[in-house]
Structure 1
Amino acid sequence: MDSRQLRYFVAVCDFRNLSHAADHCHVAASAISQHVAALEAELGTPLFTRRPRGMEPTAAGLKLETHARAILAAFETAAEDVRTGQAEVSGAISIGMPFSVISVIGGPLMRRVMGEMPRVKLLLREVLSGVGFQAVQRGEIEAGLIFNPPVDSQTERIALLEEEVFCIGHPDILGVSSDPIRLKDIAELPLAILQSGYLSRALNDRPAEFAFLEASARIQLASVAATLGAMKEGLACTLAPKVLVSDDLAAGRLVARPIRDPSPRRTLYWVVPLDARPTPLREIMFETIRGQIVASVTEGRWLGAQLITD
């Protein structure tokens, strides 16, 4: 017994005629007849009395009709509940992301939520990748956009994009050329790095090759704004993606030089707790954020980034 058989059975009860029921269900009369016969065989009793001008439900048929209508109504209620839940998503959600990510998709994301999700309350929390990953683990935020999160057994992640990391600084330090610079030569420059404990891991999957930069950095900061200030004042250079200072690069106030031997890249992941129960709000927010990321890359607003489509 399945929902299709029950729908056909109820149609025969309504029309008292196989041909009329078949027209209503947009199937052949023979199909209706076969399903009714299958129901009668399964239940071991006639459900209709066949007459020359139609079909009349038996006592067993009338009893089944009552149950069938309740079952079909429950199916419709369940389907409508799911559809309505998707269409009228509501609730609060907290998402962490680095400053560079917020600077690209934060505005469009907030505009989308405010315009299309009137019952959603969104908390965007600016976090360094290391801090954001720990916040996801501790349940302080429901999801995070994290660069190169460490492998663990408490979270699941989806890779979204990869971006190149450059040596960025004032022309007084790096010159006006955009020629590549070797990693070991960066250690000889005045260097400011973010003190998050995840610098090496956030740059590539071979952290030992970058560990010496943390030791050689004269300034360590826990603020993106302070790092930007140090670069613009000509005090130090840093390792960062172009998108972090795209306007300053375009105006010539800062210079970005590719790094070689090796060339660092980092991958942005959507990270959520492994045991988190899926919710319509989080699923819709993920699709919304991914859509904003795709648009920013394809439209050229996320400099140096490449989408991951796997």
Structure 2
Amino acid sequence: MNFKRLQYFLKIVDIGSMTQAADVLHVAQPALSQQLATLEAETGQKLLVRTTRGVTPTEAGKVLYRHAQAIMRQCDQARVDMRAAGEGLSGAVSVGLAPGTAAAHLALPLLREMRARHPGIVPYLNETYGTTLSELVMNGRMDLAVLYGGTMEVHGLTFLPLLREPLYLVGPAGMTQRPDPVPLRDVGSLELYLPRPYNVVRKLVDGACAGIDLAPRVAAEIESADTLKAVIAAGLGATILPESMAREVTASAPSWRARIVEPAIEAPLALCQSDHLPLSEPAQAVRALLLELVHDWPRHLLAGGTTATRP
């Protein structure tokens, strides 16, 4: 399969127009159409559908698009690695850090260590929610991610357990403070502001409540960590958060927190990477730094002496 044709295909899908893609690529449109036809013949699949609004990928085209992105990214990294051979590590490395988790506390220490040890590496830190981060890693658009999850096998991904964070009930100062620790059943009478059901923390809460035949009273579903802080500061209601985020909220607004027990609920934090796309040398170095930093945390799950190796 010709790399140039893959590049053309990616550009056509990104732009959504053969005419505009031809202009950007400085290729005559008939020549670009011929390249696409050759690629479809090589793959034995129809890759694009032409509509009045432009072109869209077929299901086969979507699959090729994901693989082509990963292939081009690996080619780019191979060139960087070859140029850097015999010199200090250099190149771009993308790391996802799920917000509202202990992962958020890795950003500054990681940047400091990278500047000190690998100044040639240019990091891209992405703080968004875990589902999106894992999809980016799976599609080869991100090297690594630290996020909640990893308790179930996911095709295309591997997870290295890092930490288990207990969940806390967090309430505003104007709400009667619950005992610490607080039994989960005592939470049933409160109006809660929680993330959507696909969120890992929400799944843990819903699962624990179902285990004791309790239906949580959800006043609103909120994904934004800043909005949850504002809810607590305004005294609108309570929420359930991992310990790191709970401490952050109670430090920034008049509020209280209580660890949930009976049953205790713990959110698993894990390092996520592709199970089939190899890490570049710079990405391997960043992975080693991440594990070194986590090894300094209390209650980490890493085995001693294994922090600098790939699984």
Q: Normalising by the residue count of structure 1, what TM-score does the alignment of the two structures yield?
A: 0.62
CA-based RMSD: 3.1
Instruction: State the match for 2:98 in structure 1.
Output: 98
Distance change >3 Å, CA 123–CA 307, structure 1 → 2? same
One-letter amino acid matched to 1:90:
S
Residue among 160, 165, 177 paired with 1:163: 165
One-letter amino acid matched to 2:95:
I
Q: CA deviation at 1:199?
A: 3.5
Q: Which runs of 5+ in 2 are unaligned?
A: 1-80, 304-311
Instruction: State the match for 2:59 in structure 1.
Output: none
Instruction: State the match for 1:278 in structure 2.
Output: 279
Instruction: State the match for 1:218 in structure 2.
Output: 219
Q: Extract structure 1 runs of 4+ deviating beyond 6 A.
A: 210-215
Q: Distance in 2 between matches of 1:205 and 1:186?
A: 12
Instruction: State the match for 2:8 in structure 1.
Output: none
Contact 2:209 2:215 in 1 (8 A): no
Q: CA deviation at 1:166?
A: 0.8
1:185 aligns with 2:178: no
Q: CA deviation at 1:231?
A: 1.4
Distance change >3 Å, CA 178–CA 290, structure 1 → 2? farther
Contact 1:165 1:203 in 2 (8 A): no
Secondary structure of the residue aligned to 2:276 is: coil
Q: Which structure has the bigger radius of gyration?
A: 1
Instruction: State the match for 1:197 in structure 2.
Output: 198
Paired residues, number? 220
| CA deviation vs aligned residue, 1:149-185 (integer Å, no higher than 9, x gap) | 342221111111111111112132241x542222233
Q: Normalising by the residue count of structure 2, what TM-score does the alignment of the two structures yield?
A: 0.62
Q: Distance in 2 between matches of 1:125 and 1:154?
A: 20
1:129 aligns with 2:95: no
* Pairing of 1:201-280 with structure 2 (within 5 A): 203=204, 206=207, 209=210, 216-246=217-247, 248-249=249-250, 253-280=254-281
Q: Distance in 2 between matches of 1:152 and 1:160?
A: 17
| CA deviation vs aligned residue, 1:274-294 (integer Å, no higher than 9, x gap) | 111132112111111112222
One-letter amino acid matched to 2:124:
L
1:309 aligns with 2:302: yes
Q: CA deviation at 1:87?
A: 6.6
Q: CA deviation at 1:219?
A: 1.2
Contact 1:165 1:242 in 2 (8 A): yes
Contact 2:149 2:200 in 1 (8 A): no
